[in-house]
Amino acid sequence: MRSKDPTGVSVTGSSDDRTSWIRMKYDIDIPSGTTFVRATAGNDMNKNIGGATVTDDQKHGVFREEVDGEAPDLLRVNTDGEEVENGTVLRLSVGNITEGTSAAPTGNGPNALSADWGHDKRLGLATPEMGASRQEIDFPAIEVTVMADADATTIEPTLRSTVGNPGDVGADAYQSPKNFFTFQTDHGYEDGHSDGSKIVGNQNFSNHSIRCSPRDTPTSTVNVGGQPLTTIPVLPNSTDDSLNSTDDLSVASIYGLDGRVLDVVDEGTDVGSRIQIWDPHGGPNQKWAVTGSDAFSREIVGSSGMCLQKLNVGSGQFGDDPSADGVTPVELGICSGNQNQQWVFFPEVTDGSQRGGPIVEASTGSRCLEVADSFSANGTPVQLAPCTEHANQLWNMA
């Protein structure tokens, strides 16, 4: 996303780029028909965005310092922008600081501050170099975990919008401080001038509140940006009582090579925790449930509520990215229903067969869960590899 002046005023004479955006907030709705579990913002926020303040000798925005520890945070807020436990909106910001000028001081939150440096020097979520002619901004991925209500058939995530939350009146109205993305353009001047501007030569160096509504024109109806981002079907639980528990997900161990079991390394419960084999001890990191009524597409869920998935990118404890020979590590991930969490169980896995059977990657049908290198010692990693039906690829649940 590029920092540009929506008014079209030339700042440098050759470009219409504003020098800074400050007090940004980014709002998404917690989907209706769900119970909120948790949300995290990824660590891919780039260096051109962060929390900041201004120094006392601020002149034209060239003196600015980053505030240690003031990284962007993710808050749960109500429709008035106040942080509350049962808020229906997730907000990415710094300190819940939102836009607000003397001309338009209401920025949907308790910290909607004017740009008067004598009033408050906090800039909230902002681009760091106010003297730069252009800023490229990368927002982090926001990962939300919810639990579908008992009668829900679909989950439809939205940006902050009356489509997602009809009770949030004005959320997608034109120039509303409730708009899903708002910020303030900034040139380091106080904004308290009666004409709303600061003239230097023939250039307009004012501060403006910018509020982004999902519509093509000020008078048009809400466009696709205000509609559901996707539709996620809610799948029924498995009808196989042997693989379900009404109390928890700790229902069975999955036995592999030489009687050792599928085990989460160091009893991890975080995204990215790796999988190995270990002597059975009955701990929660060795208990698994198989969910889903489709025999050709099931999830393997640990007692932590996280799903077994193939590694997508990155490296970890047991090696690098998926290799050219088709071998891919496996790990825990937030259950999402994505293809990298879907598995096909041969009947021998669950029918009590002593020999056991393969657990196959559903998306390819040609790669199986295996103990690496057929080495059965404690701590040997579990991975995906081309199916061979060798003993290191045979599993059974008990």
Higher pLDDT, 40 or 189: 40
Q: Which long-range contacts (CB under 8 A, 24 or more apart) does 148-154 make?
A: 148/33, 148/34, 148/234, 149/33, 149/34, 149/35, 151/33, 152/33, 152/34, 152/234, 153/233, 153/234, 154/33, 154/231, 154/232, 154/233, 154/234
What is the average pLDDT across 65-77? Answer: 63
Q: In the predicted model, what is the mean pLDDT of the chain?
A: 74
Residues 221-244: tens digit of each pLDDT: 889 888 998 888 776 544 444 333
pLDDT of 273 reads 92
Identify the band that residue 143 occupies on the pLDDT scale cut at 50, 70 and 90. confident
Please tell me the pTM assigned to this model.
0.54
Q: Is the pLDDT of residue 105 over 50?
A: yes
Between 149 and 219, the higher pLDDT residue: 219
Give the least confident one: 157-171, 194-208, 293-307, 344-358.
Answer: 194-208
Q: Does residue 352 surpass a pLDDT of 80? A: no
pLDDT in tens, 354-393: 788 899 988 888 889 999 999 999 999 999 999 888 999 9
Predicted confidence band of residue 296 (pLDDT cuts 50, 70, 90): low
Other CB atoms closer than 10 Å to residue 166's CB: what's the count?
A: 10
For the chain, domains (ranges, CATH) are 1-234 (no CATH), 241-397 (2.80.10.50)
pLDDT tens digit sequence for 159-186: 999 998 999 999 999 989 999 999 887 6
pLDDT at 391: 92
pLDDT attached to residue 350 = 81
CA torsion angle for 147, 150, 154, 158 (degrees, to 10)? -50
Instruction: Quote the tokens at residue 97.
Output: 């600081």
